[in-house]
Amino acid sequence: MIEKHLGQYIDVLNQRIFPAEIWVQDEKILAIHECLSAPNHYILPGFIDAHVHIESSLLSPAEFARMALTHGTVASISDPHEIANVLGMAGVNYMIENGKQVPFYFYFGAPSCVPATIFETAGASLDVAEVESLLANPDIYYLSEMMNFPGVLQANTEVMQKIAAAHALNKPVDGHAPGLRGAALQTYFDAGISTDHECFTLEEAEEKLKLGMHVLIREGSAAKNFDALIPLLDTYFKQIMFCSDDKHPDSLELGHINQLVARALQAGCNLFKVLQVACFNPAWHYKTKHGLLQVGDSADFIMVQNLQDWKVVKTFIKGKLVAENGQSLCLKMPSKICNNFLAEPIQVSDLAYEPAMEEPVMVCLDGQLITLRENVLKANCTPQNDCLKLVVVNRYKPAKVAKAFVKNFGLNQGAIASSVAHDSHNIIAVGYDDESLVKAINLVIEARGGLAACHASAHHILPLPIAGLMSDLDAWQVSADYTRLDKFSKEVLGASLTAPFMSLSFMALLVIPHLKLSDLGLFNGNTFSFVDKES
């Protein structure tokens, strides 16, 4: 049976838009015929998120897909690094298996850095042999972001063996090198690393592009680099991709890569170049299998209402309508529960901490993963000065609680806590007072993973039973629950950041400078050493 779809066909490769009939037979594009007239909606290939940690959406892969399909995203280059740090190989296999429940193209990578560093406690590790085993799996398309850039620069044996294993199978190696420039960047690139999604200045991104790297313009819930990097698109469109990296369910419900397409066009970028970035470049780079709306391809395509707001009205996978007018037509599937959570409740005495006469304090920056360092006098290290206590509790074994101070969260009462804490996913919390911190942390422990916010007389908890990272509920229910939690943290507790829980999760991300906190102590991301070891 042949099905025909009429509309204005956007031929990205030949840079034309014309009225056309798209003929579909046996899940493939049989023919594309130009005609005299067609409806005013536009037909084009589906969008690709070129780098995303599905776990950060708080959704299982299947639920992420159900929501992403409504925005015309048909594929994602997905790094299961987060669950791998909790559950190892079992976590990666869970993501692959769960993703196969839905009509969506998940292109998973083999996590390269589990644990991410030796300066924190993770729940698992992946050695060279395990990474080689993953790379040999046809469901694995690349070596995930090589965060250990010092290991690359020092030619660490294990790091180089993992990179070599990917190259031997002709699979790309993703990069992660925030702020790396000059001779060090050249060494990193020469190791065969082909992408970077961590650029936060125009100059850094252009230097990487000139070397031949692919630069991903990232716009997630916390890290937002679109405005800084979009001026590069028209010149370097063959080397640029769009990605979200980490996106909470409330922002995913509002939009995905389609939003970046709209913003790029509003910024004056050329339509066909933008669509090459959003639809084609990731497919070519990662050698993906989904269709690009050419004759003979799998019938994977989308329809949009207009070329201004990029509202997606229909999404097709293998010729089947899977989303229409913002509604998913895919059924919710049951999700297996897997976890690794051994933390026990804490007490106020566990949080006792006296700041030094001049305390090194983390300064959180809204919309960025990097932090600044500020040395604050002991007398000024108070919640009234927005200098709040930040703690990390080991979720995998009994251990001393790590403590530090952070600025710019803005809480004027209460605390927020999370078992989503990149990269090892211990429990991280920030609070105005120790009693609230204990309450929030113990709510997460009682749920065996989740996000919590509380003050003396009220609390909210979003349980995350899948690895302490993801919910097993419907995507839209999780979005609604998260929205309530986010609203409480802002309107009641006073959190001033755009995405306080996402920002909190990155306060433990040691591979991003400048100061971060692991379960082992305050860490200097510039020197890759603990602050108390500094001379």
How high is the pLDDT of residue 443? 98
Pair 415, 432: CB distance under 8 Å: yes
Q: Look at the block and give the residue holding tokens 């997630």.
A: 220
β-strands 47-52, 73-78 pairing? parallel
Residue spans per domain, the chain:
47-286, 348-533
Alpha-carbon gap, residue 329 to 322, rounded angstroms? 5
- Kind plus residue range of the DSSP H or E element containing 300: none
What pLDDT score was predicted for residue 535?
A: 53
Strands (E), 290-357: 301-304, 312-317, 320-324, 327-328
Summarize the confidence of residues 514-529 as an average pLDDT. 92
Place of tokens 């530090």: 404
Q: Give burial (CB, 10 Å; 0-12/13-18/19+) of 46.
A: buried
Which residues share a beta bridge with 528? none
Number of alpha carbons in the 13 Å side-chain half-sphere of residue 162:
29
Does position 326 have pLDDT exceeding 80, yes or no? Answer: yes
Edge-to-edge strands of the sheet including 320-324? 28-34, 16-25, 2-11, 42-45, 301-304, 312-317, 320-324, 327-328
Q: What is the mean pLDDT of residues 132-150?
A: 95
Can you point out the beta strands (E) in 413-511?
415-418, 427-431, 450-455, 458-463
How far is residue 412's CA from residue 490's CA, in Å, rounded to a whole number? 10
pLDDT tens for each residue of 377-432? 999 999 999 999 999 999 999 999 999 999 999 999 999 999 999 999 999 999 99
The pLDDT of residue 508 is 96
The length of the chain is 535
For range 46-62, the mean pLDDT: 97
Q: Is the pLDDT of residue 200 over 90?
A: no
Identify whether the C-beta of residue 11 lies closer than 8 Å to the C-beta of residue 17: yes
User: What are the b/e assignments for 402-428, b being 16+ CB within 10 Å?
Assistant: bbbbbbbbbbeebbbbbbbbbbbbbbb
Mean pLDDT, range 38-56, rounded to an integer: 97
Please say if the pLDDT value at position 37 is more than 60.
yes
3-state secondary structure of 491: helix
pLDDT of residue 20: 98
Q: What value does the mean pLDDT take over residues 273-279?
A: 98
Cβ–Cβ < 8 Å for 504, 425: no
Q: What are phi and psi of 51, to 5 degrees?
A: -165, 115
Mean pLDDT calculated for residue range 355-363? 95
At residue 300 the predicted structure's pLDDT band, cuts being 50, 70 and 90, is very high
Fold of 47-286: TIM Barrel (3.20.20)
**pTM (predicted TM-score):** 0.94
Cβ pair 55, 470 in contact under 8 A: yes
- Give the whole-number percent of the chain exceeding pLDDT 90: 93
Mean pLDDT, the chain, as a whole number?
A: 96
Average of pLDDT values for 56-68? 97
Mean pLDDT confidence for 219-237: 94
Model pLDDT, residue 484:
97
In this prediction, residue 534 has a pLDDT band, given cuts at 50, 70 and 90, of low
- Please state, in angstroms and rounded to a whole number, the distance separating the CA atoms of residues 135 and 128: 10
Provide the 3-class DSSP secondary structure of residue 216. Answer: strand
Residue 43's nearest CA partner among 296, 265, 302 is 302
Element (H, E) at 405: strand 402-407
E strands of 16-101, at which residues? 16-25, 28-34, 42-45, 47-52, 73-78
| The pLDDT of residue 275 | 98
Task: Please give the Cα distance from 326 to 426 (Å, whole number).
Answer: 35
Asked if residues 243 and 109 have their Cβ atoms less than 8 Å apart, the reply is no
